[in-house]
Amino acid sequence: MKIYFLLITIIVSLSASCQSITTNEHVKENSEIKSNLTSALYDTYDRYKEATLTKRRIKHHDIQPLIAKFRNKEGYTVKKVGESIEGRPLSLISVGSGDTSVFLWSQMHGDEPTATQAIFDILNFLDSGEFQAEKESILSNLTLHFLPMLNPDGAEVYTRRNRLGIDINRDALVLQSPEGRTLKKVRDSLDADFGFNLHDQSTYYNAERTDKPATISYLAPAYNYEKDINEVRGNAMKIIVFMNRIIQDYAPGQVGRYNDDFEPRAFGDNIQKWGTSAILIESGGYKNDTEKQEIRKLNYVSILSAIYTISTKSYNEIAISDYEKIPENDRKLFDLKIENIQYNLLEKTYTLDLGIQRFEIDKPDHKDFWVSSTIVDQGDLSTYYGYEVFDASAYTATMGKVYPKRLTSMTEFLKLDAYALLKQGYLYVSVDGIPEKIMESPMPLNITRGSYKAPETLRLAVGANPSFFLEKNGSLEYAVVNGYLIDLKAEQGVFKNALILK
């Protein structure tokens, strides 16, 4: 009997040791993927970046040549799987021969194009002659399906909704949009094991209780109100944990996690319910990355690394509990936060914080934008953050003056020395003959049309355009022009445009 128990003990011990070895091997493999492959992907990115896509406002016609080049490539298939309301074709690009199906779709919202660009970077990588071992693992174990730009009509005018005016991501039940029906049809026909739902989010999200922008945010959507975790959702959580670890190497602390309250109309929630491990990725903000090209690179690196770990199944040993450790998304970021500014009102001096946001206004061709800034909050903003923060404790906000000479043309205006005028306290210049279609000033001086008169006193208020000076000991040291902070001594500051007022 003692021998029997001794044998049992030895068998259990050996089994535990083998399991420990297997687990350690998976942990080691995940670590190696994260450190080796990911680093190589990041370092070689410029070789695969699709050079024809450099701006966010890409259109359907911009990506058609990129899709077309895969039509006759060996190993690839390109199929028309639907049409938008305005008749633009929706294409599915597929590659690989593996049993595991991975479906990636982007730009369900027309003004969320970052991952669309990354998809073509990934396709360029897959079509290259390098990383043969990794690509062999991916393409022999997986079949990848890419549906870029699901909402081309929205992309045409750079708006979230489709031509019908609905949010496609809230059309999973009624399926009244042809784009939504296409997404459902493709998902069902593939019976995809994994789905990457690729979006952009507001640049004003931050990782909870930090001043870090939520450069990338994730969600493994719930498939019921109880937020149960089955194998399908659990696998999505594991992949997100893996991707979070990757992003931390390049944007530390800049990852957020969306609230997972169940939304019965949303595609992500339903795709999870239909049996596809749905991974929502949202591209947010990154300092000095207006066109989101660095975030595009992070999408490329993290998605490709995730695809590779799916192909090796090394994600299996990742702890689901680590998913909850990712900070939740918060929305407490400003483009510019000015702290402790001295503000004179009705013969009294007050101390205020100002929260300023710069809103993009599309130009008529929807290929570019100009900026109109607004004070969105003021008072005690100590629990808020900014991409740029300026402590104005020693400064008083003062009015800008109108330049006394009225100019006859934009040509004459462009000859002015903007910094010289700012240092003299001029913030506004009257210019005649400016076409109505021109809405922004290219120099840090606001232009006035007609009989515009500057207010007699400075008024800082929510909803007002932030254009004023910061004065210290009787000297103008900084100008805030349309929400951009400009150092008058150094004659520098981040700046896109001032306004044309009338």
Tens-digit pLDDT profile for residues 68-125: 999 999 999 999 999 999 999 999 999 999 999 999 999 999 999 999 999 999 999 9
* CATH number for the domain whose boundaries are 333-501: 2.30.40.10
Of residues 13 and 406, more confidently modeled: 406
Q: Where are the alpha helices (DSSP H) in 367-465?
A: 410-414, 418-423
Locate 82 and state its tokens.
């639907």
The model's pLDDT over 267-325, given as tens digits with 9 standing for 90+, comes to 999 999 999 999 999 999 999 999 999 999 999 999 999 999 999 999 999 999 999 99
The span from the CA of 352 to the CA of 371, in Å, is 24
The span from the CA of 48 to the CA of 250, in Å, is 19
pTM: 0.91
The residues, any chain, with a CB within 8 Å of residue 253's CB and separated by 6 or more, are 207, 210, 212
What whole-number percentage of the chain has pLDDT above 90? Answer: 89
pLDDT band (50, 70, 90) for residue 1: very low
Q: Can you name the CATH fold of 12-330? A: Aminopeptidase (3.40.630)
The residues, any chain, with a CB within 8 Å of residue 195's CB and separated by 6 or more, are 102, 103, 104, 105, 187, 271, 276, 277, 278, 279
The pLDDT, as a whole number, for residue 433 is: 87
Q: State the CB neighbour count (10 A cutoff) for residue 96.
A: 22
The string of DSSP letters for 228-281 reads ---HHHHHHHHHHHHHHHHHHHHSTT-EEE------TT-HHHHHHHTT-EEEEE
- What is the largest distance, in Å, between two alpha-carbon atoms of the chain? 108
Distance of CA 21 to the CA centre of its chain: 39
Contact at 8 Å (CB) between 413 and 498? no
The pLDDT, as a whole number, for residue 32 is: 56
Residue labelled with tokens 């404790």:
393
The vertex-419 CA angle with 415 and 425, nearest 5°, equals 110
pLDDT band (50, 70, 90) for residue 437: confident
The pLDDT, as a whole number, for residue 29 is: 54
DSSP-derived secondary structure letter, 82: E
Locate 225 and state its tokens.
């109100």
Distance of CA 487 to the CA centre of its chain: 29
User: For 158-213, what is the HEC assignment?
Assistant: CCCCCCCCCCHHHCCCCCCCHHHHHHHHHHHHHCCCEEEEEEECCCCCEECCCCCE
The vertex-377 CA angle with 376 and 381, nearest 5°, equals 140
Q: How do strand 426-430 and strand 446-448 relate by DSSP bridges?
A: parallel
Minimal CA–CA distance to 281: which of 246, 316, 313, 312?
A: 246
Distance of CA 359 to the CA centre of its chain: 15
Question: Does residue 97 sit in helix, strand or coil?
Answer: coil
pLDDT band (50, 70, 90) for residue 450: confident
Minimal CA–CA distance to 343: which of 495, 468, 251?
A: 468
Distance of CA 276 to the CA centre of its chain: 24
Minimal CA–CA distance to 344: which of 158, 477, 186, 471?
A: 471
Asked if the model's pLDDT at residue 232 lies above 80, the reply is: yes
Q: Is 158 left (phi over 0), alpha (psi -120 to 50) or beta?
A: left
The pLDDT, as a whole number, for residue 14 is: 37
Residues of CATH 3.40.630.10 domain(s) within the chain? 12-330
Residues of CATH 2.30.40.10 domain(s) within the chain? 333-501
Element (H, E) at 29: helix 2-32
